[in-house]
Amino acid sequence: MLNLFLSWVKKLAMAATACMVTVASAIVLTGCPAGGEHKKKNAGKANVLINIDSASLINYLAYLSSAKMAGRETGTPGNQLARDYIVNVFDSLQIGKVSNTYLQSFPVGNDGHQGNNIIGLIKGHQFENNYIVITAHYDHLGTRNGNIYYGADDNASGTAALLAMARYFKQYPPKHSILFVAFDAEEKGLLGSKYFITHAPVPISAMAANVNMDMVSRNDSNEIYASGTRHYPFLKKYVDSIRPYSPVNVLFGHDGEKAGMHDWTNQSDHFPFHQNQIPYLYFGVEDHADYHRPGDTFDKVNKSFYYRVCTMITGVASLLDRPDILQ
């Protein structure tokens, strides 16, 4: 297993190098005059794609989708293991807290069970009181009839991406403050995100945007959707600015714009943000054969595609933090 993991990491390193070459080529092909301001802007957009640590990303994903987690269903020992792991990563990275703990507990049902959102904070060095909220749910379906529902794509992938992005922004401090929120009980009706919004640790009016990730690691066509721009058209430019430099095909839709396409507006944790007029971008792949099945496992994740997707999303988040690059 170790040799297989190291092989994946080596392949990802090669993919990262290829991504950098693609970025460099894209800059050359713009035809901008040397030293021109336009060239500087394009270089800035491209550079935000050379970001997250691939080995850490895959390590986070492997652990969160392992059998030890037993499917991470809210209120189970496996869910608690995942929660403790996320807290330990935040702590090891010295991610800040909004209170005296990373945890935000909330009731689940009427039988005394609790869920736990996990909230980390990196304060902005220029706009400390304005927040970008990066989110992913870490719970899944647990075990059923003796089968573990591993939830590698849904949504260990989004959670691992969130941790990798926290690592990146800790290394490269943002201008705006960033909340990193791993939601619990999404599978039980968006309970964690609903509670977060109604018990927000910072003013809702100070939340500039939500970047939500749910199922970002599997697609045979090299495609991922950035959903939400029908509701918030001004966000499209941030994705459009990254698309030419990413080897992933980033599509728009699933937000009610196109007839016959499933509307994802209320399907994941961005919905409570939208209900409170907080602009969102939701990144996710279309459903695959292993969606909500035991076969949603780590070995089926396309590691190169996943790394490139996470790099692209981090790039978009970086532009949200630094909109001057677009101007």
CATH number of the domain to which 40 belongs: 3.40.630.10
Q: What is the mean pLDDT of residues 279-306?
A: 97
pLDDT in the model for residue 20: 38
Question: How many structural domains compose the chain?
Answer: 1
Q: Give the chain's mean pLDDT.
A: 88
Does position 165 have pLDDT exceeding 90, yes or no? yes
For residue 18, the enclosing domain spans 2-326
| CA 244 – CA 241 distance, rounded (Å) | 7
Cis peptide before 155 (omega within 30 of 0): yes
Closest CA to 74 of 197, 193, 250: 193
Assessment of whether the complete model's pTM goes beyond 0.85: yes
Q: Per-residue confidence at 50, pLDDT binned at 50, 70, 90?
A: low
| CA 251 – CA 227 distance, rounded (Å) | 8
pLDDT in the model for residue 43: 57
The label of the residue with tokens 């970002």 reads 216
Share of the chain above pLDDT 70, in %: 83
Does position 155 have pLDDT exceeding 70, yes or no? yes
